[in-house]
Structure 1
Amino acid sequence: MATLWSAVALITIAIVISALYRQGAERSFNHLLHAQLFNVINSITIGDDGNLNGSPELGDLKFSQPATGFYWLVEPLGSFASVRLTSTSLGVNSLPVPSVAEIPFDENYERFYELRDYAGNRLRVDETEVVLDNSDQAARFRVTGNLNELEGEIARFERRLYIALAVFGIVGLALNAFGILSGLRPLKDAKQALERIRAGAANELEGNFPREILPLVNEVNALIDSNRRIVDRARMQVGNLAHSLKTPIAVLINEARTLPPEQGQLVRSQTDAMQAQVTSYLNRARIAAQQGSVLARCEVAPVLERMVRVMRKLNPATEFTLHIDPPGLMLALEAQDLEETVGNLLENAARYAEGRVSVSAVAEGSQEPAADGTRRHLVMVTVEDDGPGLEPHQAAEAMKRGRRLDETRPGSGLGLSIVKEISLEYQGSFELDRSRMGGLRARLLLPGVTRETQRG
């Protein structure tokens, strides 16, 4: 708005100054013609022979050069029989003078009008009539000036004025832009500091900020610290709850061993289901507590490499392959949640695989940038095996809580439902379909964070 107002002001100033200069120049031009007219009047008399006599000296060579547009002319009126007198510049030529009826004299018996001479010059004429002697013999006096020269002078002034104002405006615009960019630079620094926090490269806004935005920086740091304390408190409460439930569940499991086999098996299966459900709901509570945290970040490669290494030791007869693209891929979730989801999938794959299990994490298409400028994308984590696989209706049934398609193998039937719940808590997705290896393919779509946000 300041720049727009400056531009409007400069244009207005240019128009006003041009108009004022034109008015002043035309007024000065008319005054000059008026002065020259009376100089001619004072120089003309009636001679002894009864004719007009005199040779005005107006101090301008243009009145002595032909076709310049600067002329003076004296013509007798009425019965006054005399030859007319003209300047050398006009010679024997005449001017197309309008009648008095068209342009009358003013109260000073003087009139101004414009016309074109024989050379095509645009003229301004100052005319009056004067009685020269006591016999009432009168003559009409005219002095002309070339308006083309006046317009040329005005045009030269306007050109210099516009150039000066344009230079002033460009310099002012550059200074204005510099001031705006310099003034907003601290906000850009704050934005980059926020991006570093979202990327996990910093824990608070760091840098030297001016006092104008320092209160904002302090409030954001206080909000981040409050967020961190809420997450820590939630984790502590989850840990306390898990610890308080651990002992009663262990007691129930031990007591189940003393019961008759049929009853003991029933108690143990229900206790296992209870333990799995407690773990599931505790995880959901923990994830919900930290879901809005800007500090939930983990790198994919170390977590998956560690899990695949463990699975290779536990299943030496199975071949495990791992593929991550691009290197340094990061997810916007806690490492332990990634371990739990992929761990469940790896256990299922290893349990049913005939010899091969494949794990991959690949960056998918970028999402729209967030409001703070952070660039987000999605990561597809895939676990495949070469086992028997599942039909589509079986895959949907397997993800229901507590449902087991194979009762002959150990498990609570909660693993896949836990994976689905964790992925949904992080606004991702989970699906099962047929693998290219012939078995089951589990696909997790999770939110990722690009490392570009760590620059600066």
Structure 2
Amino acid sequence: MKTWSITRRIFLTCILFVAIFFPAIIFSMQNSYERSLTLAKKEELSTTAFAMISEFEFEDGEVVMPSRLFVEDLNLPGSDLVATIKWRKQQVWQSQSSIDNDINANMFNLLFRQTEKHLPGETIFLSDFNEENTHFALSKKAEFLIDGNFEEVSFLVINNKNTYQRELSTFINRLWGWIVVLSLILLGLIALSLRSVFMPMQNIIARIGEIEEGKIDQINDNYPLELQPLQKSINKLLDSEKQQRERYKKSLDDLAHSIKTPLSIILGQADLSDDIKEPVLHIDNIVKRQLKRATINVVGFLPSIDVAPLTKSLLDAMTKIHQQKALSLTLEMPESASLSIDPTDYMEILGNLLDNACKAAKSTVNVTYKRQATSTLVCVEDNGKGMSELVISAITERGRRLDTYSEGQGLGLALVVDMLESYGGELHIQSEQNKGSRFCMQLPHQRFSNSVK
């Protein structure tokens, strides 16, 4: 499962917040603006109705309206605003704007039926009075003295929503545009802020890398107050680790001296029988091996080292040690080859593998270096008589003594495996009888060894 960085998590959270919060703001503002436009339209139509009432006259049994009305849109044929007057359920007047207009008598009849039961003086505004929801409508009833009686007269106004929809669409488009721009600016500022906030942490990581490479031994930069406890803890851990390693090595030296001295005295006895000398020598070998195992399990950061010079030095030494066999020792390793391992441990591991290979080889020993994605392989290959599958299985079996096999393949392998495991590495063995064997030490690209076992 892929692990996301804290910066990416925070940034994606901000994007999610913007994606939810800003549309909610747009929806709220759109509704508010739409209500404001609708209220303004109601006021506009009410003003139109009152203007018609003020201009309404009744003479000789007929409705009289001026040839040119106060509301200019009612005088323009085909405009979005049309008005009519109904008296005694009959249409007695219609504005000039009804000419060449889709607002027809059927729509006014529908409006009249919806509002005819309302009392005089009431103003009825309908924002969706027809099924298509394409028009606003307003009905205003007033009473006039006609032939000595007060009679109801309905003033009906219908307005097409085209202008209203254009204004609303323009507002929404502009609002979205500004929101998108503000979102991008906000996310940009958040990205810059995150970079600024995490820069000290990245600096600490860089300093830890320099400690791993052996360039510095403390983190001494100035950091924000929130990170200073972390800085102090890391420095304290480094000091403690260094002191612990020194104490550990000193204790091991003292232990080795205290054990070796009595053993040397015993072995120095001239009259020591073989029955006693053999187990004492065995104890001496066990002490050496266990002390060596203890020294490799040390906690601490390890710098990368150049292993090419060390490897060449070992090959030169093996050439001299096994000069009687006249072996051909070859090396396939770049000058920049590196490993995160203690130099002494590397010499011990590769020295064991080379010594075994030289003892087993007929004529050639080849050392190769290969850097992979997460680990590095250093392989030693010989053209000896090889080993059977049974022997290989036994060698790779955990808990089995690895130093009890015949000369050339088993010597020192227990120590090699222990040392590689302390670095999180492995020993891989490939062999084919009568063709030779291949021993590969595989070490991960890590900067620190395992803890004390």
Aligned residue among 23, 26, 33 for 2:38: 26
Pair 1:381-2:379 in alignment: yes
AA in 1 matched with 2:141:
T
Further displaced range: 327-336 or 426-435: 426-435
Q: CA–CA distance in 2 between the matches of 1:43 and 1:331?
A: 101
* Counterpart for residue 323 of structure 2: 316
Q: Secondary structure of the residue that 2:300 maps to in structure 1?
A: coil
Distance 1:329 1:274, change over 3 A: farther
AA in 2 matched with 1:74:
I
* Counterpart for residue 221 of structure 1: 235
Residue 394 of structure 1: how far off its partner (Å): 5.4
5+ residue gaps, structure 1, are 368-376, 452-456
* 2:331–2:367 Cα contact (<8 Å) kept: yes
* 2:424–2:444 Cα contact (<8 Å) kept: no
Residue 280 of structure 1: how far off its partner (Å): 0.8
AA in 1 matched with 2:425:
G
* Counterpart for residue 352 of structure 2: 344
Distance 1:88 1:357, change over 3 A: closer
AA in 2 matched with 1:95:
A
Aligned residue among 425, 430, 435 for 1:428: 425
Q: How does 1:292-441 map to 2 (within 5 A)?
A: 292-295=299-302, 297-317=304-324, 318-363=326-371, 365-367=372-374, 377-382=375-380, 384-393=381-390, 396=394, 400=401, 403=404, 405=406, 415-430=412-427, 433-434=430-431, 438-439=435-436, 441=437
Q: Secondary structure of the residue that 2:186 maps to in structure 1?
A: helix
* 2:387–2:432 Cα contact (<8 Å) kept: no
Pair 1:155-2:169 in alignment: yes
* 1:69–1:123 Cα contact (<8 Å) kept: no
Pair 1:65-2:76 in alignment: yes
Distance 1:68 1:242, change over 3 A: same
* 2:304–2:341 Cα contact (<8 Å) kept: yes
Residue 313 of structure 1: how far off its partner (Å): 2.7
AA in 1 matched with 2:441:
L
* Counterpart for residue 45 of structure 1: 57
* 1:397–1:403 Cα contact (<8 Å) kept: no
Residue 150 of structure 1: how far off its partner (Å): 1.8
Q: CA–CA distance in 1 between the matches of 2:85 and 2:388?
A: 119
Residue 216 of structure 1: how far off its partner (Å): 0.8
Distance 1:240 1:297, change over 3 A: farther
Q: Secondary structure of the residue that 2:84 maps to in structure 1?
A: strand
Residue 226 of structure 1: how far off its partner (Å): 1.2
Distance 1:437 1:402, change over 3 A: closer
Q: Secondary structure of the residue that 2:96 maps to in structure 1?
A: coil
* Counterpart for residue 186 of structure 1: 200
Q: CA–CA distance in 2 between the matches of 1:16 and 1:266?
A: 98
Residue 3 of structure 1: how far off its partner (Å): 4.6
Q: CA–CA distance in 2 between the matches of 1:350 and 1:444?
A: 15
* Counterpart for residue 141 of structure 2: 128
AA in 2 matched with 1:340:
E
Q: CA–CA distance in 2 between the matches of 1:45 and 1:394?
A: 122
5+ residue gaps, structure 2, are 1-12, 448-453
Distance 1:338 1:129, change over 3 A: same
Residue 58 of structure 1: how far off its partner (Å): 4.8
AA in 2 matched with 1:379:
L
Pair 1:280-2:298 in alignment: no
C-alpha deviations, 1:152-186, integer Å up to 9, x for none? 22222222222222222221222122212321222
Q: CA–CA distance in 2 between the matches of 1:13 and 1:431?
A: 63
Residue 414 of structure 1: how far off its partner (Å): 5.9
Q: CA–CA distance in 2 between the matches of 1:319 and 1:205?
A: 50
Distance 1:58 1:283, change over 3 A: farther
Q: Secondary structure of the residue that 1:71 maps to in structure 2?
A: strand
Distance 1:3 1:353, change over 3 A: closer
Q: CA–CA distance in 1 between the matches of 2:292 and 2:249?
A: 10
Q: Secondary structure of the residue that 1:227 maps to in structure 2?
A: helix
Q: TM-score, normalised by structure 1?
A: 0.78
Q: Secondary structure of the residue that 1:220 maps to in structure 2?
A: helix
AA in 1 matched with 2:92:
R
Q: Secondary structure of the residue that 1:173 maps to in structure 2?
A: helix
Q: CA–CA distance in 2 between the matches of 1:209 and 1:300?
A: 36
Q: CA–CA distance in 2 between the matches of 1:30 and 1:107?
A: 18
Count of residue pairs the alignment pairs up? 420
**Percent of residue pairs identical:** 21
Further displaced range: 92-101 or 421-430: 92-101
Q: CA–CA distance in 2 between the matches of 1:437 and 1:299?
A: 35
* Counterpart for residue 370 of structure 1: none
Residue 296 of structure 1: how far off its partner (Å): 6.3
Residue 301 of structure 1: how far off its partner (Å): 1.6
* 2:402–2:411 Cα contact (<8 Å) kept: yes
Residue 26 of structure 1: how far off its partner (Å): 1.3
* 1:301–1:324 Cα contact (<8 Å) kept: no
Distance 1:272 1:335, change over 3 A: farther
AA in 2 matched with 1:421:
D
Q: Secondary structure of the residue that 1:366 maps to in structure 2?
A: coil
C-alpha deviations, 1:10-50, integer Å up to 9, x for none? 22222222112211221121122112212111112123x44
Please provide the CA RMSD for this pair. 3.6
Q: CA–CA distance in 2 between the matches of 1:153 and 1:337?
A: 80
